[in-house]
Chains A and B, each alone.
Chain A
Amino acid sequence: MSDLLKDPLILRQIIMDHYEYPRNHHLVEDETYHKAHMASESCIDDITVMAKIENNVIQDVCFDGIACTISTASTSIMSELLIGKTLEEATAIIAEYYKMVELLPYDEEMLQEAIAFHQVGKQANRIKCATIGFKAIETCIKEHKHDQ
């Protein structure tokens, strides 16, 4: 990805946009979805992520709840990033995201807009916020594999 995208102003814009207009921001009444409620991560964030996984592909991801800017924006970005991906692709992307958050070398192409959080690892107290949605989708994937 170009250096332009490392411009803090642009990255901030991405986060603002996903916070103010979060994508896939709803829940569904559908038994075929897997559901992960993330309330224990901190005293504040309380979000639920739902995912529909079929034929080894993440067909849909949606979420709702109370969360800070970082949690909301990162979960919104995660939902867009993972819809339509195979489980292998999704798992690889999640692993890459965690590398970035830990400030290790990572593949920018794979992470797309999620690179907005490439510096979040410097604020140790916000790492939980930036990973809460990713942790939730991991739980959904695990549940799906367990059910298979």
Chain B
Amino acid sequence: MFEVGKIRQDFPFLMKAEQSVPQLVYLDNAATTLKPQSVIDAVVRYYTDSSVNIHRGDYALSYEVSNAYEAVRKTVSKFIQCEPNEVVFTSGASAALNLVAYGYAEKVLKPNDVILMSEAEHASNVLPWFRVAEKTGAKIEYLPLDEQGVLTVEGFKEALHDKVKIVTLAHVSNVLGSVVPIKTITELTHQNGAIIVVDGAQSVPHTKTLVKDWDVDFLAFAGHKLLSPTGIGVLYGKFNLLQQMDPFLLGGGSNARFDKHGHVVLKNPPFKFEAGTPAIEGVLGLDAAIQYIEAIGFESIEKHELELKGYTIDKLKQFKHIKLYNEKAQSGIIAFNVKGIPTQDVAAYLSSLGVMVRAGNHCAKLLSEIIHTQETVRASINFYNTKAEMDIFIDALKDITLEKCIDLIF
């Protein structure tokens, strides 16, 4: 039974936010999410009770922490449907995508090979590929998108050709919330002889991820957008691809042995990618976060988030001064503008009424030509948001004017 009121009690920030004047309403969940007490406790418990390094089994406590750390690989593998040795811990989604780009793509791409992506991609799934293209002589090509930033299977088929070697796409766009039909796209990619890299930063926290069922080759996500601490992320890769992939960071923990002549034997995946002391607190926090999410269940999470989005869209549609960009997107992201008011002023005005949203181009700087606007305001919902919170947001937008926005500086 999904009870949002009960769920909110697990989030210390929300309990404080409700007592604030004005009440704080957090609608920037696509940027990062709030943390439940169980995640905070997992982090604090590590530092309080077992604050030692891992993979130093000479004393009992390290052995215990190492086991706890490695057990999280299993938690993650069950969560996204893969094998534990296909889970690489990284510092976040950006690090994971960069690892695929430099460790794998740079190794296999040849001049004039094509990397296919969409113009809705976040900078972290664009810039590493620009660099790889520059270094290998490969080319970047963009998929056609419609005005709501939606990729169609037909459009994808047309964009494929025999030079396409890598397809890289966000499962859910961070600007427009549009959902890519990942299983079909993956099938087509493989028929074309290419591999697919999925940026799961906005999808993994909100919908069930089935990497084996979808057959994707790589998938990256961030812990902090999934109730976890910052500084922890995951790269999933098919084990044979991880074997081919090179680490772009070397150091302690990633090698089996080396000598003074420069002979290095790296460990097997995933360990060869995890040089240096990892974010142990992050991994333990991620474990608690996944357990928390699974206890609620994605079915309830999706239903609640889409209900709130639908409710909000229906209300905002009645306001003539609001322009909506992604009514149809099946995710909790609402992209809009207030006619005649720059996004930053809208966000500042909402902030003065306690509502936290994001303004700007959301790091997707290529998208402006598709949706014919340089900037949008983004409200992004998570399962702990309520109808009452959406009402505060809607009411704030109801009578927003340029004058009121400017008056904030007096």
A119 CA to B345 CA, complexed, in Å: 16
A72 CA to B345 CA, complexed, in Å: 12
Main secondary structure, interface of B, reads mixed
A11 CA to B408 CA, complexed, in Å: 12
Q: How far is the CB of B344 from chain A (nearest CB, A)?
A: 4
- Determine the residue in chain B with the shortest Cβ distance to A130: B409
Contact of A55 with B by CB under 8 A: no
The reply to whether A12 and B405 form a contact with Cβ atoms under 8 Å apart is no
The reply to whether B406 and A15 form a contact with Cβ atoms under 8 Å apart is yes
Contact of A129 with B by CB under 8 A: yes
Give per-residue flags for A109-138: 1 if the beta carbon is below 8 A from chain B beta carbons, else 0.
Answer: 000000001011011011001100000000
Known: A11-B410, A123-B409, A125-B348. A69 touches B342 (CB 8 A): yes
Contact of A4 with B by CB under 8 A: no
A: interface residue count bin: 20 to 34
The reply to whether A68 and B342 form a contact with Cβ atoms under 8 Å apart is yes
Known: A11-B410, A117-B409, A119-B409. A126 touches B402 (CB 8 A): no
Known: A16-B403, A69-B402. A44 touches B408 (CB 8 A): no
Q: How far is the CB of A93 from chain B (nearest CB, A)?
A: 20
A15 CA to B408 CA, complexed, in Å: 12
List residues of chain B with CB within 8 A of the CB of A43: 360-361, 363
- Determine the residue in chain A with the shortest Cβ distance to B408: A123
A80 CA to B361 CA, complexed, in Å: 30
Contact of B407 with A by CB under 8 A: yes
Give per-residue flags for B1-14: 1 if the beta carbon is below 8 A from chain A beta carbons, else 0.
Answer: 00000000000000
The reply to whether B410 and A68 form a contact with Cβ atoms under 8 Å apart is no
Contact of A51 with B by CB under 8 A: no
Contact of A81 with B by CB under 8 A: no
Which residues A1-55 have CB closer than 8 A to chain B?
Answer: 8, 11-12, 15-16, 19, 42-46
Known: A8-B410, A66-B374, A120-B409. A44 touches B359 (CB 8 A): yes
A23 CA to B407 CA, complexed, in Å: 21
List residues of chain B with CB within 8 A of the CB of A82: none
A120 CA to B410 CA, complexed, in Å: 7
A123 CA to B374 CA, complexed, in Å: 25
A12 CA to B361 CA, complexed, in Å: 27
Contact of B217 with A by CB under 8 A: no
Give per-residue flags for B375-410: 1 if the beta carbon is below 8 A from chain A beta carbons, else 0.
Answer: 100000000000000000000000000110111111
The reply to whether B348 and A44 form a contact with Cβ atoms under 8 Å apart is no
Q: Which of A16, A67, A119 contacts B402 (CB 8 A)?
A: A16
Contact of A100 with B by CB under 8 A: no
Which residues B290-344 have CB closer than 8 A to chain A?
Answer: 341-344
Q: Which residue, A68, A70, A123, A130, has most C-beta atoms of chain B within 10 A?
A: A68
List residues of chain B with CB within 8 A of the CB of A119: 409-410
The reply to whether A126 and B360 form a contact with Cβ atoms under 8 Å apart is no
What 10 A-B pairs come out closest when comparing CB atoms? A68-B344, A68-B342, A8-B410, A43-B360, A44-B360, A120-B409, A44-B344, A69-B345, A66-B374, A15-B406
Q: Chain A interface (Cβ within 8 Å of chain B)?
A: 8, 11-12, 15-16, 19, 42-46, 66-70, 72, 117, 119-120, 122-123, 125-126, 129-130
7 residue pairs A–B, Cβ–Cβ below 8 Å: A11-B410, A12-B407, A16-B402, A66-B375, A70-B345, A117-B409, A122-B409
